[in-house]
Amino acid sequence: MPDKTAEKVTTATGEPIPAAAVATDAGPAPAKARSLWSDAWHDLRRQPLFIISSVLILLLLVIAIWPGLFTSASPRQADLAKHYLQKPQWGHFFSPEWLGYDGQGRSIYARVIYGARASITVGVGVTLCVTVLGTFIGMIAGYFGGWIDSILSRVTDVFLGIPFLLGALVVLNTFEKRSVWVVILALAFLGWTQIARVARGAVITIKQADYVMAAKALGASTTRILFRHILPNALAPIIVVATIALGGYIAAEATLSFLGIGLTEPTISWGGDVSAGREQLRNAPFTLIVPSVMVSVTVLSFLMFGDAVRNALDPKLR
**Is 304 among the domain residues?**
yes
What percentage of the chain exceeds 70 in pLDDT?
87
Q: Which residues are 107's β-sheet partners? A: 101
Q: Say what the pLDDT of residue 15 is.
A: 52
Measured CA to CA in angstroms, residue 252 lies from 45, 92, 190, 222, 260 at distances of 30, 33, 12, 37, 12
Q: Please report, for the domain that includes residue 228, its CATH number.
A: 1.10.3720.10
Q: How many domains does the chain have?
A: 1
| pLDDT one-digit tens code per residue, 224-251 | 998 888 988 888 889 989 988 999 999 9
What is the DSSP secondary-structure string of 177-243?
Answer: S--HHHHHHHHHHHH-HHHHHHHHHHHHHHTTSHHHHHHHHTT--HHHIIIIIIHHHHHHHHHHHHH
pLDDT band at residue 103 using 50, 70 and 90 as cut-offs = confident
**Is 28 among the domain residues?**
no
Q: In this structure, which amino acid lies at residue 240? A: V
Instruction: Answer whether 233's CB lies under 8 Å from 102's CB.
Output: no
**Is 83 among the domain residues?**
no
Helices and strands counted in the chain (H then E): 14, 0
Measured CA to CA in angstroms, residue 30 lies from 21, 23, 24, 121, 261 at distances of 18, 13, 13, 46, 60
Render the burial of 189-203: b for 16+ CB within 10 Å, e for the rest.
bbbbbbbbbbbbebb
Q: Say what the pLDDT of residue 14 is.
A: 52
**Is 279 among the domain residues?**
yes
What is the DSSP secondary-structure string of 31-54?
Answer: PPPPPHHHHHHHHHTT-HHHHHHH
Mean pLDDT confidence for 151-175: 91
CA distance 54 to 75: 27
Q: What SS3 state is found at 10?
A: strand
pLDDT band at residue 105 using 50, 70 and 90 as cut-offs = confident
State yes or no: pLDDT of 12 exceeds 80. Answer: no
Q: Say what the pLDDT of residue 216 is.
A: 87
Residue 158 lies in domain? 116-317
**Is 259 among the domain residues?**
yes
pLDDT band at residue 90 using 50, 70 and 90 as cut-offs = confident
CA-closest candidate to residue 312, choices 131, 34, 128, 45:
45
**Is 97 among the domain residues?**
no
**Is 186 among the domain residues?**
yes
Q: Which residues are 101's β-sheet partners? A: 107
State yes or no: pLDDT of 19 exceeds 80. Answer: no
| Percent of residues in the chain assigned helix, strand, coil, to nearest 5 | 70, 0, 30
**Is 43 among the domain residues?**
no
Query: Which of 37-46, 185-194, 293-302 has the least mean pLDDT?
Result: 37-46
Mean pLDDT confidence for 46-61: 91
State yes or no: pLDDT of 22 exceeds 50. Answer: no
